[in-house]
A and B are shown apart, each in its own frame.
Chain A
C-alpha cells in the first residue's frame, strides 16, 4: 500500500483476465477478417507495422483516450458509471478553441476547457445526487446536447471563411508544440495520469472516493459525504475529459468541424481504455497506447486488406464484453486447478 498497490501477486489475476479478454477480442476480429475473405495474419500484421512506423501518430491518438480513460476511471472508483466523457470532451475542445482565438496562448484556453468539462461532469453528478437521475441516462443525453451545441457554435459563430463546415484555426501561438517528434500534449496527458494516481492513493480525498465507491455506507460511517464525493468525482472526471478535448484541438487538429469528427468516439474509447487498464492510472497509460496502436493501425489494415478500420470498434466492444465476466475466468481457472467437478457450482463462499 505504500505504493497504493500491494504485492505483485495481486496483479496476476487481473492481468490474466485482461490478457484473455484482449485475446478473445483479437480472435473475434481475426474471425471477422477471415469471414470476409481477408487474411487475418496479413491484416493484423499490417495494423501493427503501420502503427509502429508512425509513433508520433500513436501518441497523438493516445493522448485524448488516455484522458477520457482517466475520466471514466476516477468516476468508476467512486462507483459511478460516467459515459459522458464524449460530451465533456466536446465542450472542453470547443471552449479551448473559442478562448484561444481571443488569448492567442495555450494556458488560459486549457484551464477554461478543463473547467467547463468539469462543470459539465458535475452537472450529471448533481442531477444524480439531488434528483436521483442515473448517470448513464443523464450523461448520454448530455453527450448529445454537447454534440449539437458544438455544431451550432462552430458553424454559426466561428466558421472558417473558406470552409464553412469547419471552424477558424487555433492561432499558431496557442498550439501545444512538438519537441522534435514528441507531442507535448501527450506529456500533459501523462502528467494528468500521475496527478490522478497521487490523488486517488495519497490524499484523503482519494481515500474517500475509493471508500464511497466500494461501500457507501461504510464511507459515510468513515466521515465521507457520499453526495459531495459523487459530485467531486464527476467533476474530476469531466475535467480530465475536458482536457482531452483541449489537447485534441490545441495539440493536433487545430480546428473543429460541425460533426466533431476530429475527436468523435474518443470519449467512448475511454471506457475500453479504462476497463482494460483496470481503472488504474498506470494501467490506463499502457492501455491507451494499445488502443491508439489499434486505431492508428486500423488505417493500415484498411489499406492492406480492405476491411474498414471500424473493425477495431467491434473488437473493442468484444473486449469490453469479455471484461464484464471475470467470474467466467475465475470459474475457468478453478476448473483447471481442481479438475472436473469443482468450480462448476454456482454458489459463492459463505
Chain B
C-alpha cells in the first residue's frame, strides 16, 4: 500500500508539472487582460520542437530551450494579434490549436517518416528522491516559477501595473502604464511558460513526441487558471489536484488491466476537471478586462 501511495504521488507530481506551468503562464497573460486559449497548440508545437532538437543535438537541455523558443514565437504572434491588431483572441487561439496539429503531423512525416510518433529522444535526467523514486528537475523549477510569478504579480510595481492593465486598461494608461507593451510582454511570457510545459512533455515526461500527447492538457491548464482565481500559488495546488486525477487514471489503468475499463478510466481527469471548475466558478473573480482588446477611444 505504501508503495502504491508513493507511485500515485510521484505520478501526480509528474502530471502536475505541465498543468501548472502552462496555468501560471496563462495567469500572467490573463492578469494583463489577454486570453490565450492556444495553450494546447503551443504545448504541442513546443513538445515537437523540443523532441526535434533533443533528437538531433543529443542534448535534452537544448531541446528545452527550443521548446521555450517555440512558445516565445507563438507568443509574439498572438501578442501582436491580440494587443496591437486588436484581433479576436479566442479565434486566434483556436487557430493556433488547429495549426499545431497540422504542423505536428507534417513534421513527423517529413522528419521521422512516422504518422503518430517520433523515436525516443534523449531525456532530461531525473533527481533521485527516496521513496518517490526519482523526480524531475521540472518539479522544483515549476514551484520556483510559480513562486516568482506570485511575487512579481502581487509584490512588485511591475506586477501592479500588469494587473492594472487587466482590470481597467484605460485607467491604467491614464496612470502612466504602457498597456500595449505590458500586455504584449505578458502574452509572450505566458506563451513561453506553455512552451516550457510542452518541452517537459516530450523530453522529460514521456521521452518522445506523439501527435496526441498533450491530450487536452492545455485546456485543463485553462481550467486550472479559473480554479486558481488567477493566483500562481493556488495554481500549484490546482496542478496537484488535476495532476492527481490524471495520475489516478493512468495508475488505475495499469492496476486494473482491463482495456475496456481503460476507456472509462481515461475520462476521469476530464470529468474531474469539469466537476472542479463547476464548483470553483462563482467564488472566483476574473480580471475585469480580460479578453477585451484595448483601444483608445
Residues of A within 8 A of B (CB): 32, 36, 81, 83, 127, 131-134, 136-138, 140-145, 148-149, 151-152, 155-156, 258, 265, 268, 271-272, 275, 307-308, 310-328, 331, 346-350
Q: Which residue of B lies closest to A322 (CB)?
A: B95
Tell me if A144 and B102 are in contact (CB < 8 A). no
Return A80 CB to nearest CB of chain B, in Å: 11
Q: Which of A156, A271, A315, A346 contacts B102 (CB 8 A)?
A: A315
Whether A308 contacts B296 in the complex (CB less than 8 A), given A144-B216, A318-B95, A320-B98, comes out as no
Q: Which of B91, B103, B110, B296 contacts A347 (CB 8 A)?
A: B296
The 4 closest A-B pairs by CB, nearest first: A317-B99, A314-B102, A313-B102, A321-B95
Q: Does B5 sit at the interface, judged by CB under 8 A?
A: no
Q: Which of A151, A272, A319, A324 gathers most chain B CB within 10 Å?
A: A324
Of the listed stretches B119-127, B159-167, B260-268, chain A binds B260-268
Q: What CA separation (Å) do A275 and B91 show in the bound complex?
A: 9
Q: What CA separation (Å) do A36 and B98 show in the bound complex?
A: 20
Tell me if B94 and A271 are in contact (CB < 8 A). yes
Residues of A within 8 A of B77 (CB): 321
Q: What CA separation (Å) do A311 and B99 show in the bound complex?
A: 9
Residues of A within 8 A of B89 (CB): 324
Tell me if B295 and A156 are in contact (CB < 8 A). no
Q: Which residue of A lies closest to B111 (CB)?
A: A36
Q: Please give 10 more A-B residue pairs, beta carbons under 8 A apart, in addition to A140-B216, A307-B106, A325-B86.
A: A127-B274, A134-B226, A141-B270, A141-B273, A142-B270, A152-B264, A308-B109, A316-B102, A317-B99, A320-B95
Q: Does B201 sit at the interface, judged by CB under 8 A?
A: no
Q: What are 15 of the A-B contact pairs (CB < 8 Å)?
A: A134-B226, A138-B277, A141-B273, A142-B274, A152-B263, A310-B102, A311-B102, A313-B101, A316-B98, A317-B97, A317-B100, A318-B99, A325-B92, A327-B87, A346-B295
Residues of B within 8 A of A (CB): 37, 41, 77, 81, 84-92, 94-106, 109-110, 115, 180, 215-216, 219-220, 222-223, 226, 259-260, 263-264, 266-267, 270-271, 273-274, 277-279, 281-282, 295-297
Q: What CA separation (Å) do A312 and B267 show in the bound complex?
A: 30
Q: Which residue of B lies closest to A87 (CB)?
A: B270
Residues of A within 8 A of B110 (CB): 36, 307-308
Tell me if B92 and A148 are in contact (CB < 8 A). no
Return A334 CB to nearest CB of chain B, in Å: 14
Q: Which of A32, A320, A346, A350 contacts B106 (CB 8 A)?
A: A32
Q: Which of A143, A320, A327 contacts B91 (CB 8 A)?
A: A320
Q: What CA separation (Å) do A317 and B91 show in the bound complex?
A: 10
Q: What CA separation (Å) do A14 and B92 show in the bound complex?
A: 17
Tell me if B95 and A317 are in contact (CB < 8 A). yes
Q: What CA separation (Å) do A136 and B277 show in the bound complex?
A: 12
Residues of A within 8 A of B296 (CB): 346-348
Residues of A within 8 A of B281 (CB): 131-134
Whether A136 contacts B37 in the complex (CB less than 8 A), given A324-B91, A346-B295, A350-B297, comes out as yes
Tell me if B295 and A323 are in contact (CB < 8 A). no
Tell me if B216 and A310 are in contact (CB < 8 A). no
Tell me if A308 and B87 are in contact (CB < 8 A). no
Return B100 CB to nearest CB of chain A, in Å: 7
Q: What CA separation (Å) do A326 and B270 show in the bound complex?
A: 34
Tell me if B98 and A137 are in contact (CB < 8 A). no
Tell me if A151 and B263 are in contact (CB < 8 A). yes
Whether A136 contacts B98 in the complex (CB less than 8 A), given A144-B216, A149-B263, A149-B267, comes out as no
Residues of A within 8 A of B87 (CB): 324-328
Return B256 CB to nearest CB of chain A, in Å: 14
Tell me if B105 and A308 are in contact (CB < 8 A). yes
Whether A137 contacts B219 in the complex (CB less than 8 A), given A145-B267, A271-B98, A325-B81, comes out as yes
Residues of A within 8 A of B279 (CB): 131
